[in-house]
Amino acid sequence: MTALARGWCPSLHEPMRSGDGWLSRIKPYAACLGAEQARIIAREAARHGNGAIDLTQRGNLQPRGFSGASAVAFANAMVAAGLAHPDPAVERNRNLLAPPLLGHDPDIAPGTAELVEALPAAMAEWPALPGKFGLLVDGGGRLPLAGEGADIMLRHTGAWVELRLGGGDAMAHCAPAEAVAAATALARHFTTLAPARRMRQAVAAQGAQAILAACGLEAAPDLTPRPAPPIAVGLLPGQVLGVAAPFGQLRAEQLAALAGLAEQQGDGTLRLTPWRTLLLPGVEDAAPAAALGLILAPEDPRLRIASCTGAPGCASAFIDTRAAAARVAAAGLPGLLHLSGCAKGCAHPGPAPATLVGGPDGYAIIRDGRAGDRPAAAGLTLEQALAVLQRP
């Protein structure tokens, strides 16, 4: 068991202590859960934990509220359900963001599924990597991952695989059959680049072209713009229902009900996305999910608020972010608003047009910056902070 520490990333076998107990993490293989697996997660999360399940920006599920002993029982149940590797070291390294509609979206490049399937076995043999170090495999299609970041990014075009590095401005490409070996070479090389904990730090020190070249990859400048995230809520093209949970947290009973919906009306799967939504391929009726209290309208103001767990769930929090988020959503402010229980900024590591941060003396406001940046105003009540943000 591991106490809360900066930079720590929980995994199933290495849960993290938080304000509401230990929290765990499930990393669905290929961003996909079968309905029965989702039901098992819901049942065991309610049985062993407090039944709250976060949807993370890495397409993972983060059940909360375990005791030390119940976290172990939960982990055993997840391994038995085929949702995790039994070896803690393998499970810790297995950070792979995959296209959420693999097998359903015909526009995803051919060969992408095979690459996603082959990588976990290779990653199991990689040396230990920092807990947050991860890969991304994109194959285009209706919900591309091209706007997402990772330490190593692979984009399958069908003819070849493009390779990019987190924070980098260069790109290499290889034959699809060589992609796993190329990613392996990059991950192994990264472990020689201490003290970097993330690839972007190594890139800042060495340059992306040099790192790619050190792995035998010929790099060229990468001028590809990063697209905005796609809309992944509501009735989506290709017969897919996208659902979001208010402020990114599901209840176990909602997950179990969605599993039933996927089975009765869809293809029997639930897909995880980095946009903190669940996708149900084949489901075209939004009413049952709406009746569960889930979000199905892309314009719902709650989707414009990036809120972390906050108090009481997080021991570092100065404010109850979810209660505050409901009030902020009702205020109808335009644009993205990041609401953070402390300066760490877990819910939105990048800059946001407006950020409200909890501190020992109340709320601070940061404009066009990150939660840890210098505030424009501090020591405010929530109502005072909203009044400032509402000024033209």
Binding site for ligand SF4 (CB under 6 A): 308-310, 314, 316-317, 340-342, 344-346
- Between 251 and 370, CB nearer to ligand SF4: 370
> For helices 252-265 and 35-48, what crossing angle results, to 10°?
170
- Between 83 and 317, CB nearer to ligand SF4: 317
- Between 24 and 209, CB nearer to ligand SF4: 24
Minimum distance of ligand SF4 from residue 116's CB (angstroms): 29
Minimum distance of ligand SF4 from residue 205's CB (angstroms): 27
Minimum distance of ligand SF4 from residue 66's CB (angstroms): 17
- Between 18 and 277, CB nearer to ligand SF4: 18
Name every residue whose Cβ is closer than 8 Å to that of residue 22 and which is 6 or more positions away in sequence: 1, 15, 16, 65, 66, 67, 68, 71
Grouping H, G, I as helix, E, B as strand and the rest as coil, residue 211 is: helix
Minimum distance of ligand SF4 from residue 357's CB (angstroms): 8
- Between 266 and 310, CB nearer to ligand SF4: 310
Name every residue whose Cβ is closer than 8 Å to that of residue 317 and which is 6 or more positions away in sequence: 19, 308, 309, 310, 311, 341, 342, 358
- Between 18 and 269, CB nearer to ligand SF4: 18
Minimum distance of ligand SF4 from residue 372's CB (angstroms): 10
CA distances for 308 relative to 187, 341, 369, angstroms: 30, 7, 16
CA distances for 380 relative to 363, 375, 392, angstroms: 5, 11, 19
Q: Tell me which residue has its CB nearest to ligand SF4.
A: 341
- Between 6 and 226, CB nearer to ligand SF4: 6
Minimum distance of ligand SF4 from residue 310's CB (angstroms): 5
**Whole-number Å distance between alpha carbons of 43 and 73:** 12
**Whole-number Å distance between alpha carbons of 157 and 175:** 10
Minimum distance of ligand SF4 from residue 137's CB (angstroms): 27
The CA R_g of the chain, rounded to the nearest whole Å, is: 21
Strand-pair partners of 306: 338
Minimum distance of ligand SF4 from residue 300's CB (angstroms): 22
User: Taking a C-beta distance cutoff of 8 angstroms, is the pair 61, 90 a contact?
Assistant: no
- Between 22 and 126, CB nearer to ligand SF4: 22
**Whole-number Å distance between alpha carbons of 181 and 177:** 8
Q: What is the amino acid identity at position 208? A: A
**Whole-number Å distance between alpha carbons of 126 and 151:** 14
**Whole-number Å distance between alpha carbons of 15 and 26:** 11
